[in-house]
Homo-oligomer: A and B are copies of this chain.
Amino acid sequence: MNTERLAAFSDGVIAIIITIMVLDLKVPHSAEWAALAEVGPVLLSYALSFVFVAIYWNNHHHLLHTVTRVNGAILWANNNLLFWLSLVPFVTAWIGETHFARQPTILYGFALLMPALSYFLLTKVIMRGGADDSKLAQAIGHDFKGKISIVFYVVGIVAGFFLPAISYGCYLLVAIIWLVPDPRIERSLKED
């Protein structure tokens, strides 16, 4: 199996994940602005998760670009990532419908942490699958962004037991960190 194929399938799944979240925006049966206002929190949670999934799509694309040959371990590490990403719409709807209540907020952090850990695992598997002089090994380096994201998610989850607002602060910080595409991989690829 070539990288192209794996990327196309992943892109398909991620495109569906990012789009079906909008199905959780229940259409108000009344035509009043007040009825629309009730959709507000679900819309907000959708916008937040849209950004997270878009970040994954972007970084995932960069990552797969460094793979030269797909093996079974890479395939299943990738499927594992897609599985956890596919749960994001469910948790997104839960925080939206419960107006960002405590338990859903904690689960949301968990639902973001699991893809982060899966992405980290995928990176490791790709590094082992490629040669030790692979572009990726050089490019990722100490992978500061990946590690700090995991720390922020864990802090956000713990904070959720006390004050959900702090959790969302942590989650937003991760989004901001990743919004900029990783210059290390880009630089490494450009040197070819």
Binding site for B on A (CB under 8 A): 1, 5, 7-9, 11-20, 22-25, 27-33, 36, 39, 43, 47, 50, 54, 57-58, 61-62, 65, 72, 75-76, 79, 82-83, 86-87, 89-90, 93-94, 97-98, 101-104, 107, 179-181
Contact = CB atoms under 8 A, between A and B. Distances in A.
A72 B186 CA distance: 11
A83 B50 contact: yes
Contacts of A98: 29-31
A116 to B, nearest CB: 19
Given A8-B11, A54-B79, 6 more contacts: A9-B15, A25-B90, A31-B102, A50-B79, A50-B86, A72-B181
A28 to B, nearest CB: 7
Contact of A62 (B1, B36, B79, B101): B1
Contacts of A102: 31
Contact of A19 (B20, B25, B65): B20
Contacts of A181: 72, 75
A14 to B, nearest CB: 8
Contacts of A93: 27
Most chain B CB within 10 A, of A15, A47, A87, A181, is at A15
A93 to B, nearest CB: 4
B76 A33 contact: no
A27 B94 contact: yes
